[in-house]
Amino acid sequence: MSIRELWHRLGSPRWFFRISGPLATTLGLLALALLVTGTVWGLAFAPPDYQQGDSVRIMYVHVPTAIVAQSAYILMGAAGVVLLVWRMKMADMVIAATVPFGLTMTALALFTGAAWGKPTWGAWWVWDARTTSVLVLLFLYIGLYALRQAIPRPETASRACAVLAVVGTINIPIIKYSVDWWLTLHQGATFKLTEAPSMPPEMWLPLLLNVLGVYCFFGANLVRRLRVEILERERNTQWVRDLVAGAPA
Amino acid sequence: MSFDSLQEFLAMGGHGLYVWLSYGAAAIIVAYNVVSVRVAERRFFENARARERRQTRGSDGPVASSGGSRSGDGSRDAIGESTRS
Amino acid sequence: MSGPGRLFAAQFRRELTTALRSLQEALNPLVFLFLAITLFALGVGVDPEVLGRFAPGIIWVLVLLANLLALETLFRRDYDDGTLEQLVLLGRPLFVPVLAKVTAQWCLTGLAMTVLAPLAALLLYLPGEALGATLLTLIAGSPALTALGAVGAALTVGLRGGGVLLALLILPLYVPTLIFGAGAITLAMSGLEVRAQIYLLAAISVLSVTIAPFAVQAALRISLEQS
């Protein structure tokens, strides 16, 4: 199948529903394997940090969630562009399906950041560049969620969210840059949590596994949410009614 | 293995509270994301089946034969779907 | 004058005329600005040292909030009397009319606040050497506030309880402007060069003013189709 053909087929929710069942299962199993390996490795086998001790093990959950939360927002921005330019039906479902995942992952990244900050900096909350950026990201997600809740019609709601997600995505790099600059101005904490170059392979390998695992989990979760979203939107079509009639009770 | 005993593993060199809080929260969030999709899926099928029943019962009323033919349509489509897939 | 230019001028004049007809409504955000400054002085205390140190942050945060308050009415009147629907139904690109609306709104908020900024600086004991930087950051940064805010206003125009929702949608997008605006004034207070921050603010404004009309156009079409 050529890319062009795939692009056109993606416009058909029914086609996507038919092929996506095995995809969700595969991604889910992959995520399970990667996350279990990475987490056990990081928790029990990776060496403690020479400065932070065992609290560095929070990194294996904090860093992947923070990364995936940002990627999810950027994906929504990209889906928003696709929706507004090509009016592809699936794109607005992608936005609708990503908001709950991204919101919970951002909250988790903030919480684990706080739990890591307490033993490292001695305070639950420190205005460091990364945590501040993630906090702003959380507000961006809450805004999307609130806008979606405020508009009754689901199609209208996700198109409105698409506009907001596009504007937000353009802003994310500017926000990150401005927060970095703000930190140098106010001379906050100078001790960075993760310093990639000095990390030995026993530490960055499990981290990499967890990052890949959380991306697979995102993929699996997104596909499954999309499938439910498709059923809801297409519930009055014949193929969905047939599916309901054929499904085991 | 960087720990010698289970106690040491749980204590995390004195940072046990923070490490286990983080991993506990992660477990909750992951479980929420998995379960909420399942619940939504199940709710959709329940609602759809209830809708289907309401519609057949609604047309069942005075003229019994029309309801019968409709349910007949439904079963034919169900067979069609199963042969297609 | 060419077509788009004439359209811009006509729309701009219309916006200013209707705004000035209900002058009180146009002045409300400015009154809010000074009311809130008074509250800050009462809350923080009138020690010139302390108030002066907080002044850059206070000025910029209050300018953000005053802008936000003004945005609620940006599309509301046109929405209520059906003008907005007519505009969308024309099917023509809305870039020019939206740009004219945003420009008129900026004159009534960003520009007006810049003009009144010396008074605000006086009340907050802002050191005199930072006054120039204050004016420059406001004039360079405030167009971004109006342009980004217009997107939020367009998205929430037909919704009940749109005010708080608007704040939730827009304030996170104001973060860079706030940081560079307040940061530049703080730097200027210690006699440092702030040209880079002014340029950055201007760049953010140019980017926002260029992109926002397209987003506003899409948002208006979405908001109006649901009602």
For residue C84, what is the enclosing H or E element?
Answer: helix C83-89
Residue B75 carries which side chain, given as an amino acid letter? S
**What does the pLDDT average to over B47-72?**
61
Beta-bridge partner residues of A49: A53
Q: For chain A, give me the number of helices (H) and strands (E)?
A: 8, 0
Beta bridge partners of A181: none
In sequence order, the 6+-apart residues with CB closer than 8 A to the CB of C71 are: C105, C146, C149, C150, C152, C153, C166, C170
Residue B72, CA distances (Å) to A217, A236, B46, B56, B60 in order: 42, 18, 21, 11, 13
Residue B84 — pLDDT band, cuts 50, 70, 90?
very low
Could you state, in chain order, the average pLDDT of each consecutive group of 10 residues for chain A (249 residues)? 78 87 94 95 86 85 93 94 87 91 95 89 84 92 93 86 93 90 64 58 89 96 94 88 78
How many distinct helices (H) and strands (E) make up chain C? 11, 0
Please, what sign has the CA dihedral across residues A126, A195, B18, A133? positive
Q: What pLDDT, in 10s, does the model give residues C67-92?
A: 999 998 889 888 988 888 888 888 78
**Residues of chain A neighbouring C219 (CB-CB closer than 8 A):** 160, 163
Interface partners of A (3+ CB pairs, < 8 Å)?
A: B, C
d(CA C109, CA A75): 35
Residue A198 confidence (pLDDT): 66
Judged against a pLDDT cut of 50, whether residue B71 lies above it is answered with no
**CA-based nearest residue to C153, from C212, C206, C204:** C212
Q: Name the most confidently modeled range: A65-79, A124-138, B68-82, C212-226.
A: A65-79
With cut-offs at 50, 70 and 90, classify the pLDDT of residue C153.
very high
Q: What is the mean pLDDT of chain C?
A: 91
- Look up tokens 């089946």; give the residue: B49
pLDDT at position B60 is: 52
Give the number of other Cβ atoms within 10 Å of residue B60's Cβ.
15
Cβ atoms of A183 and A120 within 8 Å: the answer is no
Q: Testing the interface with A: which of B4, B10, B30, B85 to mutate, by most A Cβ within 10 A?
A: B30
Tell me which residue in B29, B52, B81 faces A108 most closely, judged by beta carbons. B29
Q: Is the pLDDT of residue B85 over 80?
A: no
Q: Write the pLDDT tens digit of every residue in C53-69.
A: 999 999 999 999 999 99
Q: How far is CA A232 from CA A194, A237, B56, B81, in A?
A: 43, 10, 20, 19
Residue B74 has pLDDT above 50, yes or no: no
* Touching chains, B (3+ CB pairs < 8 A): A
Picking from C172, C176, C222, the nearest residue to A139 by CB comes out as C172
- CA separation for the pair C148, C146 (Å, rounded): 6
The pLDDT > 90 percentage for chain B reads: 33
Task: Answer yes or no: do A58 and B26 touch at CB < 8 A.
Answer: no
Which amino acid belongs to residue C211?
A: I
Minimal-distance CA residue of chain C relative to A153: C226
Question: Which of A92, A95, A91, A113 is closest to A103 using CA atoms?
Answer: A95
- C-alpha torsion sign, points C126, C130, C136, C137: negative
User: How far is residue C82 CA from its own chain's centroid?
Assistant: 25
Nearest to A224 among B9, B37, B51 (CB): B37
Which residues in chain A touch residue B82, judged by CB atoms under 8 angstroms apart?
Answer: 246
- Give pLDDT, residue C81: 87
Interchain proximity C172–A185, CB inside 8 Å = no
Name chain C contacts of A143, Cβ cutoff 8 Å.
168-169, 172
Higher pLDDT, A237 or B63: A237
What does R_g of chain C's alpha carbons equal in angstroms?
18
Q: Report the chain C residue with the minimal C-alpha distance to residue A137.
A: C172
Whether C180 and A178 lie within 8 Å, measured CB to CB = yes
Find all residues with CB under 8 Å of A131, minimum gap 6, and list them.
Answer: A110, A113, A114, A117, A125
b/e code C112-128 from CB counts within 10 Å (16+ = b): bbbeebeebbebbbbbe
ipTM value, please give it. 0.90
B58 pLDDT higher than 70: no
Confidence band, pLDDT 50/70/90 cuts, at residue C125? very high
